[in-house]
């Protein structure tokens, strides 16, 4: 595999997720923190209008408009599409300063701790995930590969896109502890990429737990589309914990418990994420899979495989 | 004092504070919960456009535009001012169905638990606060009477305005446990008002702790107005706890601790409230004062006093 030449750290793809916004500001004020000998590190506040307005997005979700069709729109009306095109011209795979790795910093109101999101199972991504997991046992790795979602996230503009999703933290709030834990993870990621570039094997064979997308669960609603239930208090904050058939899932506004009716245990994430109310997603169901990621041993080949 | 004839329960004055929005929806679906023999109970979703959009406000903060001047504006441009005028025409003191008590349901990202906010120290308000405190030891009572803020909150439209401020909960999130605790407090308030109307003495002399407004603290910023520090992790979530001279207050993005430089202990509230970033308020400082609220004994007079 070709070496990593440029890493782009992005904050503010959602303008009210302040952890990423202020981490990028910090890195811009103290660039030595993110500079590494073997590659060029850039930082970017992506959705500047949304950041200024303190909202998730101005016209449309920037993390859903980086697909080919949007990028090919001649005169986009939506601010975010225009901005995606601009970012693609710079950091896209055919851009002026293409990013090999995009690390997009997000936060969630769900209790997801430190989560690394992969959109596919490219060996390089699994390798990075395994290496970070070995260093940060609290790190969870979520894979959206089975979701059927097209490549429309901002991170998809780069050769290898990663998302850091950290929580719980309210939209519009900067929370110091999570800020520092996220910063540490970003710096560990850069260190890993630097070691990889310098041909130093960095991980032993490592078991990696991938929480793989199974589906989403909508909120119970009435015929007028009004919310009729909320996340059950027993499920609130229980991201990545098993939900068994019959376990409480929702509590209706009138006090009835609605149980999980599936046949197999699932592991919900994004439980009660504020931004997903409008997408009618109460939670995302996953199932963990243990895989073994082989030690990276042949720097110039694609020898890293997943079995 | 004249009896309470009408109580108005309001949700959604800030459209992204869902606890109040869905409590009002629940009360509208099950009106027997809030009906009491001795008065008329009404419910209202105040900022309907903001609720629909999932934002705090559309044009301007509805909880700052119920002042006399706004209410007298002939053709208001802002949605919230027009809506405030409409609500005033119905529930204002000279409206068609005036509300004696307005209970406005708010939420905060700060760790304020269940907080009752008073804007002045009218004996009736202190009496209610003392009665609720006796039933709910976890209830805190915050007084904004010294803040110099004019009467511009939605609750100021009624004869007696109260605000319930509950947290921590993210904007745009409905959290079941806090929902139920808020509901219980609303129902206790209605029960108290009903007993008061029926001339049944309800409280013994009760010591009431009032957390009184001292001032606000802005965020440290650079010359361009950019945030340079966040709430110190040792202060995060410590609402209503004493902050002593020299205690950590902020942590700069570059890692320096900024200590509280005052001479006396203070008790911060609204610590890291998302909606106050735009108001440049990192926290509100208070000082608790113990007062004794006399037992309510003479139903037709204003005999309740505070000493």
CATH of the domain at B270: 2.20.25.160
pLDDT of residue A39: 98
pLDDT 10s digits, B143-193: 999 998 889 999 999 999 999 999 999 999 999 999 999 999 999 999 999
Q: What is the pLDDT of residue A47?
A: 98
Q: Quick one: A291 exposed, middle or buried, by C-beta within 10 A (0-12, 13-18, 19+)?
A: middle
What is the SS3 assignment for A54? coil
| Structural domain harbouring A33 | 6-210
Task: Decide: residue B164, CB within 10 A, 0-12 exposed, 13-18 middle, 19+ buried.
Answer: buried
For the stretch A134-159, pLDDT in tens is 889 999 999 999 998 889 999 999 99
Q: Output the DSSP codes for A179-197.
A: HHHHHHHHHHHHHHHHHHH
Q: Are residues A224 and A205 in the same domain?
A: no
pLDDT band at A198 (very low <50, low <70, confident <90, very high): confident
Which residue of A19, A174, A223 is the best one to mutate when testing the B interface, meaning the one whose CB has the most B CBs within 10 A?
A174
pLDDT band at residue A165 using 50, 70 and 90 as cut-offs: very high
Start-to-end C-alpha separation, chain B: 19
For residue B132, give Cα distances in angstroms to A227, B155, B156, B237: 30, 19, 21, 24
Task: Write out pLDDT tens, residues A15-33.
Answer: 999 999 999 999 999 999 9
The chain A residue lying nearest B236, using CA atoms, is: A175
Q: Are residues B142 and B223 in the same domain?
A: no
pLDDT given for residue A73 in this prediction: 94
Is residue B304, in this structure, part of any structural domain at all? no
pTM of the model: 0.92
pLDDT of residue A301: 39
Residues found in chain A: 307
Q: Is residue A277 part of a domain?
A: yes
Model confidence at B198, pLDDT cuts 50, 70, 90, reads confident
Share of chain B above pLDDT 70, in %: 94
How far off is chain B from A255, nearest CA to CA, in Å? 10
Q: Are residues B255 and B144 in the same domain?
A: no
Spatial CA neighbour of A106 closest among A188, A168, A197: A168
Structure confidence by residue, pLDDT tens digits, A27-79: 999 999 999 999 999 999 999 999 999 999 999 999 999 999 999 999 999 99
Q: Verify whether the Cβ–Cβ distance B170 to A109 is below 8 Å.
A: yes
Give the B-side interface with A, CB within 8 Å: 22, 25-26, 29-30, 54-55, 109, 168-177, 179-180, 226-227, 230-233, 236, 251, 253-254, 272, 274-275, 277-278
Residue B200 above 50 pLDDT? yes
Same domain, B39 and B175: yes
For residues B172 and B244, membership in a common domain is answered with no
Q: For position B304, what pLDDT does the model report?
A: 41
Residue B221 lies in a domain: yes
Residue B294 belongs to some domain of the structure: no
Say whether both B49 and B28 belong to one domain.
yes
Percentage of chain A beyond pLDDT 70 is 94
Mean pLDDT within A201-206: 66
pLDDT of residue B302: 42
Tell if the CB–CB gap between A231 and B174 is shorter than 8 Å.
Answer: yes
Reported ipTM: 0.90
Task: Find, in chain A, the residue whose alpha carbon is nearest to that of B52.
Answer: A278
Nearest residue in chain A measured CA to CA from B56: A55
Using a CB-CB cut-off of 8 Å, the residues of chain A touching B253 are: 22, 25-26, 29
CB contact under 8 A, B170 and A30: no
Same domain, A11 and A147: yes
Which of these, B65, B64, B66, B62, lies nearest to B53 by C-alpha position?
A: B62
Quote the pLDDT of residue A305.
42
Q: Which of B210, B238, B262 is the last residue of a domain?
A: B210
Find chain B residues with C-beta within 8 A of A254's C-beta: 26, 29-30
> Do A191 and A251 reside in the same domain of the chain?
no
Distance from C-alpha of A68 to C-alpha of A71, rounded to nearest angstrom: 5
In a domain, B70, yes or no: yes
Query: What is the per-residue pLDDT for A302?
Result: 41
Number of structural domains found in chain B: 2
Please report residues of B whose CB lies closer than 8 A to that of A20.
none
pLDDT digits (tens, 9 = 90+) for A282-306: 999 999 999 998 745 434 434 444 3
Residues B146 and B133 in one domain: yes
Average pLDDT, chain A: 93
Q: Does residue B149 belong to any structural domain of this protein?
A: yes
Please report the sign of the dihedral spanned by the C-alpha atoms of residue A259, residue A261, residue A267, residue A268. Answer: negative
CB contact under 8 Å between A173 and B272, yes or no, is: yes
Task: Say which CATH number the domain at B148 has.
Answer: 3.40.630.10
Pair (A239, A193) in one structural domain:
no
pLDDT exceeds cutoff 90 at A263: yes
pLDDT digits (tens, 9 = 90+) for B3-54: 999 999 999 999 999 999 999 999 999 999 999 999 999 999 999 999 999 9
pLDDT tens track for B233-284: 999 999 999 999 999 999 999 899 999 999 999 999 999 999 999 999 999 9
Looking at the domain assignment, is residue A305 inside a domain? no
Query: Is residue A114, in this structure, part of any structural domain at all?
Result: yes
pLDDT at B299 (0 to 100): 41
- Of the partner residues B54, B174, B226, the one whose CB lies closest to the CB of residue A278: B54
CB–CB contact B171 A172 (8 Å): yes
Nearest CA in chain A to B170: A170
Of the candidates B177, B210, B243, which is a domain's last residue?
Answer: B210
Asked whether residue A29 falls in the same domain as residue A164, the answer is: yes
What is the per-residue pLDDT for A1? 62
Q: Do B26 and A253 touch (CB under 8 A)?
A: yes
Tens of pLDDT along B90-118? 999 999 999 999 999 999 999 999 999 99
**Cα(A268)–Cα(A71) distance, rounded to whole angstroms?**
33
Q: Same structural domain for residues B123 and B266?
A: no
What is the pLDDT, as a whole number, of residue B54? 93
Partner-chain contact B171 A54, CB within 8 Å:
no
In chain A, the residue whose alpha carbon lies closest to the alpha carbon of B273 is: A173
């Amino acid at each position: 595999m070709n070496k990593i030449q440029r890493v782009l750290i992005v904050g503010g793809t959602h303008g009210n997720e302040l952890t990423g916004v202020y981490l990028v500001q910090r890195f811009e004020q103290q660039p030595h923190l993110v500079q590494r000998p073997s590659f060029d590190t850039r930082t970017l506040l992506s959705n500047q209008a949304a950041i200024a307005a303190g909202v998730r997005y101005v016209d449309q979700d920037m993390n859903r408009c980086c697909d080919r069709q949007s990028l090919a729109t001649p005169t986009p009306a939506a601010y975010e599409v225009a901005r995606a095109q601009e970012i693609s011209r710079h950091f896209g795979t055919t851009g002026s300063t293409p990013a090999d790795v995009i690390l997009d910093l997000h936060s969630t109101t769900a209790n997801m701790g430190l989560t690394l999101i992969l959109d596919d199972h490219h060996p390089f991504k699994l390798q990075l995930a395994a290496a970070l997991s070995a260093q940060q046992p609290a790190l969870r790795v979520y894979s959206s590969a089975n979701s059927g979602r097209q490549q429309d996230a901002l991170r998809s503009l780069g050769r290898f896109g990663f998302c850091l999703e950290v929580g719980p933290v309210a939209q519009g709030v900067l929370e110091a502890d999570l800020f520092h834990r996220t910063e540490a993870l970003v710096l560990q990621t850069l260190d890993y990429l630097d070691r990889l570039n310098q041909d130093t094997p960095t991980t032993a064979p490592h078991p990696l737990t991938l929480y793989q997308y199974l589906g989403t669960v909508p909120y119970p609603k009435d015929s007028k589309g009004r919310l009729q239930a909320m996340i059950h208090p027993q499920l609130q904050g229980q991201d990545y914990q098993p939900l068994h058939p019959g376990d409480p899932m929702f509590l209706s506004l009138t006090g009835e418990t609605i149980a999980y009716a599936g046949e197999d245990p699932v592991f919900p994430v994004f439980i009660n994420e504020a931004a997903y109310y409008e997408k009618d997603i109460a939670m995302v169901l996953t199932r963990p899979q243990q895989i073994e990621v082989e030690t990276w041993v042949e720097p110039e080949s694609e020898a890293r495989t997943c079995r």
